[in-house]
Each structure stands twice: as C-alpha cells, then as structure tokens.
Amino acid sequence: MVRLVLAGLLAGWRSPLARVPLRHAVRLWHRGRRAWRRSLQVRIVSITLVLSLLVVGVFGFVVASAITGGLLDARVRSASKTVDQGAAYAASQLKGVTQPGDPALLTTVPAVVVALGNAEQSGQVQVIIRASDSSLSSLPAQSLAWPKADAYNVVTSGRLADLRRQVGRGKMARQYATANPDGNGERRYLVFGTPINSSGAGGQLELYYLFPLDNEVATVDLVRTTLIATGAALVVLLAMVAALVTRLVVRPVRIAARTAQRLSAGLLDQRMEVRGEDDLARLAASFNQMAGNLQRQIVRLEEMSRLQRRFTSDVSHELRTPLTTVRMAADLIFSAREDFEPAVARSAELLQAELDRFEGLLTDLLEISRFDAGFAMLDAEATDLVPVVRRAADGLTSVAERAGCAVDVSVPGAPVIVEIDPRRIERVLRNLIGNAIEHSEGKPVRVTLAADDSAVAVTVRDHGVGLRPGEEKLVFNRFWRADPSRARQTGGSGLGLSISLEDARLHGGWLEAWGAPGQGAQFRLTLPVRAGERLVSSPLALVPADAPPARSAEPAGTPAVVGVAASAATPVAGGDPGDEGRVTP
C-alpha cells in the first residue's frame, strides 16, 4: 500500500502539470540569485529586511508574552480572592451540618451553589460543588452546578483529573481548560478548585469555579494583531528607507561604473555629473579629473603612436629609393669582386650581406607598419600545409648547415588541408625555424605537424639555451633578444616573432612559447581548419614530452610557458598562458 502511494506521488510530480510550478519556482530562484550577486542595493535591502524581521519578531514576542502574563496574573489574583470568599461562605453555611449523611446537606448544598452563583455579577462564572464520596449522589447535577448542569460534567471529566487530585489532598489548585459548559461553543476557562472546610462534611465537599477568559483572550488577540500589523508596517518602512538610502549611495556608483565602461569602450569624453559638496560629489569630481587625465594621456599616446607609425612607414618607403641605387652599385661591385684584392673582395661580400639584412629590415618595418595601421588583410585559401612546412624548412637548410645543426621535419603522410594565407604562414614558419636554428647551439631542431577535425598545429623544438623565467613574456616584443651580447648566426631584424604574432592573430590562431634554461624552447602555432572558426584546443601539447617536470614553486630555472595572441601574454581566441602540458589551452 505504501509503495502504491509513493508511486502515485512520484507520478504526480512527474506529470507536466506538476512540473509547471516547479519550473516557475526554479526560474524565480535563479533570478533571485542573479539579483543577489549583481545588485548591491538588493543585498542591503534584503539584509535589512531579514534583520528587521528578526528584531521586530523578538520584540513582538516579548511584548505579547509580557502583556499576556500580566493579564493572566491579574485574572488569577481576582479569581483567587473570589474563590477564597466563596469557600468561606460555603463553610459558614455548612457549619450546622454535623454528619455526612445529614438530610440538611441535600438542601443546603444547592442553596449554597445558587447563592454563590448569584453573587457573581457577570453571570458567566460557573460554580460547582462536588462531594468526594457518595453523600451527594442523590442530587441531580443541575442542583450542584450553576447556572447549567454541563459545568458539573466538565469538572468531573478526565481533563481535570489532576486538579481534582490536588483538591482532594486539601489544597487550592487551578488549571486552564477549554470547555463548552454553556453550549455557546468552545471557550477558554480558568478553573479553580478548593476544599470546603466544615465541621460536618470535613474535606469531602469541593468547590469549583470556572472563570471565562473571553476578555483576556480578546485583549491578547488584539495585542497580537496590533503587534503583527505594526511590525509588518515597520519592516516595510525600514525596507523602503533602506532602499531609498541605498539608492542614494548606489546610484552614483552605478553611474561611475557605466561611465567607466564607456571610457573603456573608447568614449573618452564621458563624465559624471557633480552635485553638491558631499563625499559622493567629491568622488564624482575625482573620477572626472581622473578621466580627463586619462583622456589627455591616451590622446597624447595615440598621437605619438600615430607619428611613430607614420615615421616608420615614411622612413621605410623613403629608404627604398636610395637602397635601390646602393643595391645596384653593390651588385656591380659584388659581381666583379674576383678582380679585386682579397681585402676589397671581402668588403664587397660584407657590403652585399649587410644590404641583404638592411633590405629585410625595411621589409619587416613596412609589414609592421601595415599591421599597426590595420591595413593587413587575410587572403585565405584551402591549402595543403604539409608542403608549406617542408618548403619553410628546406629554405633554411643552408642556414642550418652553417649553424651545424640538423632540422628534422615530422609531418603526416596524408595532406593536411586548412584555410590559410600560405604566404603568411610560410613566413611564420621560417621565422620560428630560423629562430630555433639561431638558438640551437648546434643541437637538432625538430618541426612537428599534427591536425584534428577543428585545428592544426606546428611545433618547433630546439635544445639550445632556452628561456629564463620572465623572458617568455618578452620573446614576442619588437627588437627584443634573449642575449644581446651573443654573436648573431642569421642576422635577424628583431621583428620576426612580432610579425609572426600578428600573422597568427590575423588567422584567429594561437602562437605560444615554452622554455627552460639549458633545456631549449618550443614554439607552437595553432590554426583553425576553417577560417573564422574559434579555437578550443590544439592537436599538440605546448610543453614537450622531454621537458623537466614542473615544480610547485618557481625558483630560478623553472620552465616558462606563455600563450600569445594580441599581446605576448594573452592567447588568441581564449588560449591559456598557464598551459604547461595540457593540449587544450
């Protein structure tokens, strides 16, 4: 049976009609949590409301208890006096009764009940005389109770058994009870009982009073209702006051937050309105002063950056003309170097090499200026990345031979089709492989290509000097070198990795670096298979398998890892700079 009931309840909860209010409750719960997290005003008002409810509840309970106790104590004192007087009167009337079976007892007791009942002006107090033996058994209950016989049944019922036992021991006792002796519905009564001391009856007669508590109950209900209404009104007023005061404080903060958001979005002319001379007004004035200073600094820096980009672009273009002339003369001299003396021939070779470097530097400067000006465009097309990787590695074979290191290329046997700009990606790979050869110190360089359904990755690993802690944040900066005093092998311009970073960002990819002193370095280029898609993982791990284990602390010699995107410390499309072995940045 129990299983059937439980199954029915579960089926009811699973029904569509039962799920509707549950969904509404869950939705309201989530909205409340969201408002609690996001709104300072909601939190302050809620806390004020809860604390006010607690204070008002405790205060109302104490006041109601004090008033109820005072009313009942007053009623008990008044009833006790009435009972004492009634017991004395009954004892005086029964003084002439000398024996428990005296016939006078049967006539005197009803008369005493009527006299005591008539003495009560209210007409609602019930008076009962009861014998602890059978001396009054011949009298009907109507003659022993005033004004109605039902009161006698209340006194003799089981609910007042404790009261009767105490009275039977010769003590005055009282008890609260709910009864209906007059047929007008259940009412609260204060029941008093006392023995009647008479010479004849001894302790066999007992006098009971039922005092109605209608006035006390009505007064307590009125007090409780008043306290509840007053408390609710007070709590609502406190919540309104808290909301108003909080709004006065929170509103300028919200305005400041919105103004700060507009400033961060590039609207540098946004300011807060200053009203009055209080703390909030001083906050608004200080905020406006800060915004003005930031605007001036940003405008000045933008102007300097614009002038710098223009200067770089203009110089790069202007140097092209004399460079062309010098190149023509240098080519003529270089082609005839065999007819010169050895020293002059060597100078011609040095001139040719430095002109090559100078021309490469100008090309890099022009490319950087295009990135800075926002003119760089991606010309993506479906391309097999395998020959691109091989071509980039083969183009640096002579450089690797001069450096005394081998370049090992590991690519899949099947084509790896990806939407890229092959010219830019090949330039990135040449920069990464050339940088690895330059820092390999004669040790092998390994290039690895891997792909999955959404991304392709190329890692370039060397075992040279590596990167010291902190250098991984600088490796993509323009014109930065790990060791400026070290002799150059390839004669780079110092802009290769910066341009590679911009090319990776243009593709929506990641360019990341890992390194450890004496353990070499590894660079990872990750690109989406389809142009415009967002990267979420990489097919290759950034930290190589032969890397030393990472430590909990970071003393000197700890491997350095950085993910790079828009800057040297921020990965493109959500990469994680702290990725030290995970495939997913």
In the chain (585 residues long), the average pLDDT of successive 10-residue segments reads 50 52 78 76 82 87 88 88 86 71 75 80 77 76 78 80 84 86 78 75 72 86 89 87 80 80 78 76 82 83 75 70 79 81 83 77 70 72 91 88 89 90 88 88 91 92 84 73 52 71 87 87 91 87 79 38 38 37 36
Can you give the pLDDT at residue 307?
74
Question: Is residue 243 a part of any domain in this protein?
Answer: no
Same domain, 345 and 414: no
Half-sphere exposure of 376 (CA within 13 A, CB side): 20
Sign of CA dihedral 374, 375, 381, 387: negative
Same domain, 355 and 387: no
Q: Which residue, 371, 398, 432, sits at the end of a domain?
A: 371
The structure tokens listed for 353 are 């090499």
333 to each of 137, 328, 342, 357, how far by Cα in Å? 151, 9, 13, 18
Which residues form the domain of 190? 91-219
The count of other CB atoms within 10 Å of the CB of residue 6 is 10
Return the closest-CA partner of residue 211 out of 301, 292, 121, 296: 121
Question: Is residue 426 a part of any domain in this protein?
Answer: yes
Same domain, 170 and 316: no
Question: Is residue 65 a part of any domain in this protein?
Answer: no
Same domain, 554 and 519: yes
Taking the alpha carbons at both ends of the chain, their separation in whole angstroms is 57
The CATH code of the domain that includes 362 is: 1.10.287.130
Q: DSSP assignment of 23-36, as one string? A: HHHHHHHHHHHHHH
Same domain, 315 and 426: no
Can you give the pLDDT at residue 525?
93
Question: Is residue 319 a part of any domain in this protein?
Answer: yes
Can you give the pLDDT at residue 293?
86
Please state whether beta strands 445-451 and 407-410 pair in parallel, antiparallel, or not at all (unpaired). parallel
Can you give the pLDDT at residue 545?
84
Can you give the pLDDT at residue 492?
56
The single residue listed with the structure tokens 């691109």 is 388
Can you give the pLDDT at residue 438?
87
Return the closest-CA partner of residue 79 out of 205, 173, 196: 173
pTM, two decimal places: 0.46
Residue 484 CB contacts under 8 Å (≥ 6 apart), including other chains: none
